Structure 1
């Protein structure tokens, strides 16, 4: 595999890592960067290119595990295994986010995703549907910030989330099954509307993302395992590493930023992105 092809893998990994967990739609960015510019399908083939996108998504998921590693150790009750010790602040579950709350948040989109996976893949993945998702998702984010300003009682940390809030966020996460809507965009908006601070909603979003994204990516990878060829392995590795590194940077930066700027700037960016896609691909 030539150097320029490896460079393309790094660029695609960069795009995936920077956009997967920000509320801006990684799908929309992949349309612009890959479909318009890099055109990975032309030298990899359609199915190998799709498999590559699954692999780099796994790199992004690994970055979340690194950032929230202690949180996942707590949720799974593995403090003794990892040496945090019984009785420590990390080991105590009292007043902390519980695994069942995460499961409650995951169930609605998880069930719908399994039931309608084939329909979504066949009918909803198009430039037009992504445009709709970008714009409608932006409107949802603007509404969420408006609702947030009117609330006086808020959960400032993810440990204060209730089961009712977790379920409400999970129901709104179902919107992310529409391509371009953005998983993080829908769940952060849902969290904010149900009374979480932007940082708490973001934390809950990233924690929920790991099982649902890993499950979807793993199933997709198994279905397309025949396209995971040795010839394409350097391309896959370069993309995976790039996605991991840039997702790590993106997540840490985003979590420091979100409570200050809220969601409206991201909504404006999405509308601009939708306009670019429209004028380049449709008009």
Structure 2
């Protein structure tokens, strides 16, 4: 029963934080430390629940995905200016760096202390993006240029540091290129699908031996909870972002880092 509660808690944490600009990886490392849930099984479990969160976004953006793949035409809804090249330009930088430095990142950066650094640094970057946001040139996702897509991809590289937040980096990067909050968030969620499938798939190939039939229900619970919570989180966040912007999330990151440092690490 204790394992099931861990699956539920970590599934909720993943679903809530994967697409919010607060760093899901950072929160999973911190909560895993609090729950004493670490090691190979925990690492594999985190990959599985990330796939649950990815599925949630794929469900929410299924029309757009089919349109990008040329399997659906819906001119009444999409102007279809966004294409696969935008996506490719946005994911290549982080994918290349991730492959080159995968071992070093996993070895040296996956610890509570490095996560706290990422939380603070990412929060500062988000506040800076709000302060120096360029004049909006892309109000909708279809207005994004190839240059903007590539710039967002460069910003995504910052998220290779655990705690920085992939969505925080890409949305903030989008603001600095002249994208609206909505366009930046939609694009961030869309490019998360191939980015996370590639990263999670790569990690899963290296750690699938840690999966066992005995743990099937444990992993299934985490996957299902992550999927359902992520569905609600993405829809709610898109509505909230238009009203409160990124700054409150940055302040939350500072508070979370301070509390964890004071009560856990000191």
Q: Confirm or deny a common fold (TM above 0.5).
A: yes
Contact 2:126 2:172 in 1 (8 A): yes
Mapped pair 1:70 → 2:63: yes
Structure 1-normalised TM-score?
0.90
RMSD, aligned α-carbons: 1.5
Mapped pair 1:89 → 2:75: yes
47-56 or 238-247, larger mean C-alpha shift: 47-56
Q: Which runs of 5+ in 1 are unaligned?
A: 80-85
Cross-structure match for 1:224? 207
SS at match of 1:155: coil
Cross-structure match for 2:129? 144
Contact 1:138 1:267 in 2 (8 A): yes
Which 4+ runs in 1 deviate beyond 4 A? none
Q: Where does 1:179-198 land on structure 2 (aligned, <5 Å)?
A: 179-198=162-181
224-233 or 3-12, larger mean C-alpha shift: 3-12
Q: Work out the CA distance in 1 between the residues paired with 2:160 and 2:29.
A: 17
Q: Where does 1:64-143 land on structure 2 (aligned, <5 Å)?
A: 64-79=57-72, 88-89=74-75, 95-143=80-128
Considering only CA atoms, is the larger Rg found in Structure 1 or Structure 2? 1
Cross-structure match for 1:47? 40
1:122-178 alpha-carbon deviations (Å, 9 max, x no partner): 111122211111111101000111112xx4343111100001101111111110001
Q: Which runs of 5+ in 2 are unaligned?
A: none
SS at match of 1:232: helix
123-132 or 249-258, larger mean C-alpha shift: 123-132
Cross-structure match for 2:21? 23
Q: Where does 1:119-268 land on structure 2 (aligned, <5 Å)?
A: 119-148=104-133, 151-268=134-251
1:13-42 alpha-carbon deviations (Å, 9 max, x no partner): 011000011000112322332211x2223x
- The CA deviation at 1:90 is 6.3
- The CA deviation at 1:4 is 3.0
